Amino acid sequence: MITETSRFNEECQVEVERQGSDPVTSATTKEWMNNANRFKYSYHFSVLGRPIIQYPQDIVAMQELIWEIKPDLIIETGIAHGGSLIMSASMLALLDMCDAIESGATLNPRESKRKVLGIDIDIRAHNRAAIEAHPMASRIQMIQGSSIAPEIVEQVREVAKGHECILVCLDSNHTHAHVLAELRAYAPLTSVGSYCVVFDTIVEDMPADMFPDRPWGPDNNPKTAVWEYLRAHPEFEIDKSIQHKLLITVAPDGYLKRIA
Ligand SMILES: C[S@@+](CC[C@H](N)C(=O)[O-])C[C@H]1O[C@@H](n2cnc3c(N)ncnc32)[C@H](O)[C@@H]1O
C-alpha cells in the first residue's frame, strides 16, 4: 500500500541517487571540500562538550546508523579528544532510554551492556581526564596502544566476545598498510547487517600536496585499503547511498555494510 510515508521515502531515494550521480554537484562539492580543508574545517566541532574531528554530515550519518543498527558495542580506533566516543556513548544512552520507556523498566546506565571501546596509541592525559569526568564515562572503555598490535587486537576481541551487535569505526593512522591491518583485525567483528565505517577515505580524492607532513596521500590511504580488503571479502559491500546522501563526507566508499 502506498502511504504518505512510503511516498516521501521513495522520493528521497530518487533525489539522493540523482544528486549522487550529478557531475556538477560532485565537482562543486570537491572544490568546496578542498577549500574548507585549508582551514582544518573538520577540527571545529564538538559533541556534548568534547571536540570531535569529523564533518557534521558524517556525525549525522553515524547517528542514523546507530539508531538503525542499535548496537551493544561500538569499537572505535582513534580517540583524539574523545568527541566521537562521547557521541557514540550518548546515542547508546538514548537507545537504553528508549528501551526503558517501551518496557517500563527502571533505567540504570551503570548496568547497561551497551558500551563504546576506544583504542588510541596516545591518549593524552588531559583528554583521558576529560573523557573520564564526562557524564557518559560509565559507557566508555579506553585501551592505549597501536590498534594493530597483536596484544591490543586480542584485548578488543576479548571485549567483543560479550556482545551481540557490533559496529566498528576506523579513524586512526590513515596509511594503506595500517588501515588494511585494522580491517583484517576488526572488520570480522562487525555483526551481519551492521557497518564497518572507514574514515578519511577522502584522502584518495584530494590533491597530493594537501598532506605535506603526513605519510598518507593519493594511492596510500584508507580508500585504497578498503578497495584491497573488499577484493577478498564479499561479505562487505560499500553502501553508496550514504555518500550520495551526504555529498560532503570524509568517508566516500568508507561506509561498509556487512551483508553476510
Ligand atoms: C583523526 S584522530 C581521531 C579522531 C576521533 N575519532 C574523532 O572523531 O574525534 C586520529 C587518532 O588516531 C590516533 N592514532 C594514530 N596512530 C594510531 C595507531 N597506530 N593506533 C591507534 N591510534 C592511532 C592518534 O593518536 C589520533 O588521536
**Ligand 1 first shell, C-beta below 6 A:** 52-54, 77-81, 83-84, 119-122, 146-147, 171-173
Per-residue pLDDT of 121-141, as tens digits, reads 999 999 999 999 999 999 999
| pLDDT score of 204 | 96
Pocket test for ligand 1, best of 55, 74, 120, 123 (most atoms within 8 A of CB): 120
Residue located nearest, by CA, to atom 19 of ligand 1: 146
Instruction: Find the range with the poorest average confidence among 106-110, 131-135, 243-247, 255-259.
Output: 106-110
- Which is higher by pLDDT, 104 or 25? 25
pLDDT digits (tens, 9 = 90+) for 145-174: 999 999 999 999 999 999 999 999 999 999
**Whether the predicted model's global pTM rises above the 0.75 cut:** yes
Question: Is residue 109's pLDDT more than 80?
Answer: no
pLDDT tens by residue, 71-81 = 999 999 999 99
Q: Report the C-alpha gap between 59 and 55 in whole angstroms.
A: 7
State the CB neighbour count (10 A cutoff) for residue 129: 10
Rounded to the nearest angstrom, the distance between the alpha carbon of 8 and the centre of ligand 1 is 39
> What pairs with residue 46 in β-bridges?
51
Alpha-carbon gap, residue 92 to 109, rounded angstroms: 10
Question: What confidence tier does 195 reach under pLDDT thresholds 50, 70, 90?
Answer: very high
Instruction: Say how many Å lie between the CA of residue 14 and the centre of ligand 1.
Output: 36
Q: Are strands 73-77 and 166-170 parallel, antiparallel or unpaired?
A: parallel
C-alpha of residue 222 to centroid of ligand 1, in Å? 13
- Ligand 1 pocket: which of 76, 86, 172, 175 to mutate (most atoms <8 Å of CB)? 172
Residue 211 reports pLDDT greater than 90: no
Q: Is 179 left (phi over 0), alpha (psi -120 to 50) or beta?
A: alpha
End-to-end, the C-alpha distance of the chain in Å comes to 30
Beta-strand ranges (E) seen in the chain are 45-47, 50-52, 73-77, 115-120, 140-144, 166-170, 195-198, 236-238, 255-258
